[in-house]
Amino acid sequence: MDDPQPDPWLPLFCAWLLALIATLGVLFVGEVMGQAPCNLCWFQRAFMFPLVPVLAVACFLCDAGVWRYALPLAVLGWLVALYHNLLYFRVVPEAIKPCGMGPSCSGSDMMVFDSLPLASLSLGVFSLIIVLLLIVRRRLSA
Amino acid sequence: MSRRTLVVVIGIIAVIGFALAALFYPRQPASDYLPAEATQPAEAPTAQNLVRFHSPSFGPADARVTVVEFFDPSCEACRAFYPIVKQMMDKHPQDIRVVVRYVLNHRGSEEAARIIEAARKQNMFVPVLEALLDSQPAWHDDAQVMAGWEAAERAGLDVRKAREQMHSADINAALSKDAADAQRLGIRGTPTFFVNGRALTQFGAQPLYDLIRSEIDKPR
């Protein structure tokens, strides 16, 4: 980047696209494929869904200052996703939950394409969004 | 294209794309998960509807404490509880009898229950049950329970004989009796425990042990 003032719009736009794809993806898995979200999935949804309209408006108005509002959402979602991964990979034990009373957060159902855990996908997307928002921040202050 | 137009166009494409994908996605008739309807129990637990003559059991028949476990061989929580219950039995070998009743909530549940029942006819109940629970993650979503059959064979089950026996009339009758009792008792999740007819009200290993201890410690 030789440009003395690199444009923060592109990383902002990428962050929005990621949030949009992630949101439509989980809605598809949950509502169309009919895989009920577990408790922790709901908390991650709570932080992912608002990123879509917030970042969309910011992209529309070219408002890079949105990182101040979007970053806390992404970090909180990232923390929940991290905890979900620790549960999923049995790093921390989950209390035994009876079957037939809602899906388990660490059960084998919590996968897409038969091998990719939803929790890991979520952690990856939140991480990328955080990185992109940090780039937006740097370019804004540059 | 200006940035503003791009944002609007992508937003519209995303919504239309999602709607089309949802429209053309082949829907499966049955969902993965079949939680029982929240039925009010029609019957109170009694010695009759908790323990049937056909029910498999572990431990001495004259034990002071009878634990009835409504059990789904395909359920993760039942798998997790197995070593816990076993440990409690090892601690009080004279006092605890565990009776197993089947609740079949998952895709592989019925086949697995039939494998266990066929194994019982070959006197292989405990090794095959343990082999199935051990390999549960590999077959739990498979209606054919292929990985479960393999594990049972490794544990010593005569698979050819078991495949002949698994649809016999007595096994059919036992499974439907268990399903009927579970419904009458209003069983929702598995495992559900009754200790000497008293329902375990708080789910967990410690509450179960406390309830068993309180029954053991009761004066005769």
Which residue of A36, A60, A96 is in closest CB contact with B80? A96
Distance (Å) of CA B191 to CA A30, B68, B88, B112: 26, 10, 16, 16
Pick from B35-44, B107-116, B181-190 the range whose average pLDDT is largest.
B107-116
pLDDT digits (tens, 9 = 90+) for B132-151: 999 988 887 778 888 999 99
Nearest to B72 among A62, A99, A109 (CB): A99
Residues of B in contact with A62 (CB under 8 A): 3
Of A108, B184, B53, B26, nearest in space to B192 by CA: B184
Average pLDDT score, chain A:
86
Task: Summarize the confidence of residues B157-181 as an average pLDDT.
Answer: 90
Report the relative pairing of strands B96-102 and B65-71 from DSSP bridges.
Answer: parallel
pLDDT tens-digit map of A68-78: 999 999 999 99
Indicate whether A1 pLDDT > 50.
no
ipTM score of complex: 0.76
DSSP A6-71: --SHHHHHHHHHHHHHHHHHHHIIIIIS-----HHHHHHHHHHTTHHHHHHHHHHHT-GGGHHHHH
Neighbours of A3 (CB within 10 A): 8
Domains of chain B with bracketed CATH: 47-216 (3.40.30.10)
What number is the average pLDDT over the span A34-40? 80
List all residues 6 or more positions away from A41 whose beta carbon is below 8 Å from its beta carbon.
A26, A30, A84, A105, A110, A118, A122
Whether the per-residue pLDDT at B32 is higher than 60: the answer is: no
Q: What is the mean pLDDT of residues B23-39?
A: 59
- Distance from the B125 Cα atom to the nearest Cα atom in chain A, whole angstroms: 23
Ordered by start, the domain boundaries in chain A are 9-91+115-141
Beta carbons within 10 angstroms of residue A18's beta carbon: 21
Cα–Cα distance for residue pair B95/B37, rounded to 1 Å: 35
- For an interface test with A, the pick among B1, B6, B7 (most A C-beta atoms closer than 10 Å) comes out as B7
A105: pLDDT confidence band, cut at 50, 70 and 90?
Answer: low
- The mean pLDDT value for A108-137 works out to 85
> pLDDT tier at A47 (50, 70, 90 boundaries)?
very high
CA dist B98 → A52, B143, B199 (Å): 53, 27, 14
What pLDDT score was predicted for residue B137? Answer: 84
Predicted pLDDT at A55: 96
Give the whole-angstrom CA distance, residue A125 versus residue A6: 24
Widest Cα–Cα separation across chain A: 59
Across chain B, how many H-helices and E-strands are there? 10, 5
For the whole prediction, is pTM greater than 0.80? Answer: no
Strands (E), chain B: 57-58, 65-71, 96-102, 192-195, 198-199
User: For all residues of chain B together, what is the average pLDDT?
Assistant: 86
Smallest CA–CA separation between A127 and chain B, in Å? 22
List the one residue out of A76, A80, A54, A79 whose CA is nearest residue A67. Answer: A54
Look-up of token digits 């239309």: B16
